[in-house]
Structure 1
Amino acid sequence: MSSPAFNIRRYGPSSNVDQHAFAQWVVPLRGELAFELEGRGARLDRLQGAFVAPMAGHAQAAGEDDRFLIVDCPAALFDDDTLDRLRRQPVLALPAPVRAMAQRVGATARPQMDAATVQRELPTLLQAFSLSGSATRLQAVCARVERSPGEAWPVERMAAAVGVSASRLHALFREAFALSPQAWLSASRLRWARARLADSDNAIADIAQHAGYSEQSALTRALRREWGMTPAEYRRRHRPL
């Protein structure tokens, strides 16, 4: 492809593995996406997106009401260091400016954005995930939390992983994500639990424990507050046919 493109898409309950020669960002607008990239699974939602490097195999599944901003981008727009970093760590904590940009674009109700919109909004993505982006230094610790959300993650541990004080970590998270570190941790735990509810037969109490909740009722409260349903209801709705 010769120029970037912004598209609003929906996905069905399954897809074949796809590959393409251009880079691509996946930014959820509504709902969530079960995403597989080069054999690695992830669950994407409004706080977490993904970067698909050129020729990386990927597949996805979503509900019919879920919507996503898909940004196709020529690989030539990236310097080698940025492209390599995104290739190695493709699941991305979405900075607040990126989430706001996605909502602006999604509010237009057009499936494909015109060239003027692309030219105006693309710099937000390029800057957010550049080496100097406000969230770049936090991506590694966010990825560690995402892999093991059930572990104990006091702010001091997260701060040590970044190499800053606890107070500085709070400031960095607020600047990058408009969230506190503990709010990000809570979202990661709920995301992990949702994935296990959808793709396993594990007991709900076991899922809650391994996600880091003190008891099943804590998971139930969190899921009902954020998604309007109990764990059992979520499992029935999202279990593959």
Structure 2
Amino acid sequence: MAALPAQPDLSLRTYEGDEGTDRHAWAQLVLPVRGSLTLDIAGREGRFDVARAAYVPAGAWHTTIGDRPNRSLVLDVATADIPDGIADRLGTAAFVPLAPTAAALVDYMRLLVEDQAQSPEHLARWVPLLLDALGRERARPLSRLQATLAAVEDALGRPWTATLMATHANLSISRLHELFRAELGTTPRAWLAERRLARVREWLVRTDRPIAAIATDAGYGDQSALTRAMRDAMDTTPAAYRRQQREAASKIP
């Protein structure tokens, strides 16, 4: 097995197909921020998505399968850095439903990593908070929104509306809005707009795809609609954002 990391390490990863079986000397938390994955941890197999985290104990054989679009925050951390009792609880559960505090922490760090604003100081503060939230906070039951959120994430280019989401979740419009407010602190429309912009930012930075194609695949009618959305939300344009992020990345040793 590889040596322990000198300090916790966080990265955004995409899994494609059967990644094979692996094990390592550190513990690992897999926190999906898009789509879903199948993970076999020492013979315990489960499918998990943005509503749950997976915990791989140090030394455990595990196999990751990405059979649909996905993206996850992956935290590598020495078991010694996990407070007493929390590692045991996470290891026993393997797949841990995210309570609201943990979900908010994951989303916060996702934004920092996507915008390349993450720093060792951020990570040093974030890891203890996340572990405490996962290990000590009472998790909420799996939401009726879970499958619908995953479906929207997998097909952002579809003309999603609150009505279509409610139909997918087998809910009334009013009940859909209640669940979004209670569990995500937002509305279906605002959540969809945020997820589309997050996907656009990812594609602008990580691919060379034409902006018009990115706009269409992310659910905007055309490039002009995407440009208006980015100006309103971020006071920038797609081309300017891509250029700024790549210039910033080029300066990182």
Normalised to the residue count of structure 2, the TM-score between the two structures is 0.55
2:110 is the alignment partner of 1:97: no
Paired position in structure 2 for 1:195: 202
CA drift of 1:151 comes to 0.2
Paired position in structure 2 for 1:127: 139
2:144 is the alignment partner of 1:137: yes
Q: SS of the residue aligned with 2:199? A: helix
Written as runs of structure 1 = structure 2, the 5 A alignment for 1:1-241 is 20=24, 22-26=27-31, 51-54=53-56, 55=62, 74=87, 76-77=89-90, 83=95, 96-99=100-103, 111=124, 122-124=135-137, 127-128=139-140, 132-133=141-142, 136-239=143-246
CA contact (8 A) 1:193 1:208 kept: yes
Distance, in Å, in 1 between the alignment partners of 2:130 and 2:11 is 23
CA drift of 1:222 comes to 2.5
CA contact (8 A) 1:220 1:230 kept: yes
Structure number, greater radius of gyration: 2
* Identical pairs, percent: 31
Distance, in Å, in 2 between the alignment partners of 1:203 and 1:113 is 35
CA contact (8 A) 2:163 2:173 kept: yes
Q: SS of the residue aligned with 1:160? A: helix
Distance, in Å, in 2 between the alignment partners of 1:25 and 1:160 is 30
> Alpha carbons of 1:228 and 1:23: their partners in 2 closer, same or farther (altered >3 Å)?
same
CA drift of 1:220 comes to 1.8
Report the residue type matching 1:147 in the other structure. Answer: D
Distance, in Å, in 2 between the alignment partners of 1:198 and 1:116 is 29
CA drift of 1:156 comes to 2.0
Distance, in Å, in 2 between the alignment partners of 1:144 and 1:167 is 20
> Alpha carbons of 1:213 and 1:49: their partners in 2 closer, same or farther (altered >3 Å)?
same
Q: RMSD in angstroms over aligned alpha carbons?
A: 4.9
CA contact (8 A) 1:25 1:49 kept: no
CA contact (8 A) 1:150 1:213 kept: yes
Measured against aligned partners, the alpha-carbon deviations of 1:164-220 in whole angstroms (never above 9, x if no partner) come to 111101100110000111111112221222222223332212211221112322212
Paired position in structure 1 for 2:59: none
Distance, in Å, in 2 between the alignment partners of 1:155 and 1:180 is 9
> Alpha carbons of 1:50 and 1:96: their partners in 2 closer, same or farther (altered >3 Å)?
closer
Distance, in Å, in 1 between the alignment partners of 2:193 and 2:127 is 37
CA contact (8 A) 1:23 1:51 kept: no
Distance, in Å, in 2 between the alignment partners of 1:192 and 1:113 is 23
> Alpha carbons of 1:144 and 1:202: their partners in 2 closer, same or farther (altered >3 Å)?
same
CA drift of 1:150 comes to 1.1
CA drift of 1:163 comes to 1.8
CA drift of 1:139 comes to 1.9
> Which runs of 5 or more structure 2 residues have no equivalent in the other structure?
1-6, 13-18, 39-49, 57-61, 66-70, 109-118
Report the residue type matching 1:138 in the other structure. Answer: L
Distance, in Å, in 1 between the alignment partners of 2:127 and 2:205 is 36
> Alpha carbons of 1:225 and 1:25: their partners in 2 closer, same or farther (altered >3 Å)?
farther
Say how many residue pairs are matched. 194
Distance, in Å, in 1 between the alignment partners of 2:241 and 2:130 is 36
CA contact (8 A) 2:29 2:74 kept: no
